[in-house]
Amino acid sequence: MKALWEQDDRSKLDARLVERILRRLYALDQAIRPEDMDQPGFDFHGLRGRRKGTYSVHVNGPWCLTFGWQDTDAVRVDLEQYHRGRVR
């Protein structure tokens, strides 16, 4: 996600997902608390168990953006299929 956000490097991402990912990254950049990501179509929720403290928003199909939170910023932002584990 860092390469996409900072350098607009889309080379390692499915082109069909890029615009949806960017929409969520823009919203994440504007958010000041995790709950700000509770927007229509994002399916925002906190993860449970060993992933408690990590949040998720739906991208498409099995793909989600997951992130932690520190002060007023998202941290550890990742694209993954968290039911299967981290993939990017």
Residue 84, pLDDT score: 56
As a whole number, the mean pLDDT across the chain is: 90
User: Taking residues 15-22, what's their average pLDDT?
Assistant: 93
What is the third-level CATH fold of 2-86? YaeB-like fold (3.30.2310)
Q: Exposure string (b/e) for 22-61, b if CB count within 10 Å is 16 or more?
A: eebbebbeebeebeebeeeebebeeeeeeeeebbbbbbee
**What residue ranges do the domains of the chain occupy?**
2-86
pTM of the model: 0.86
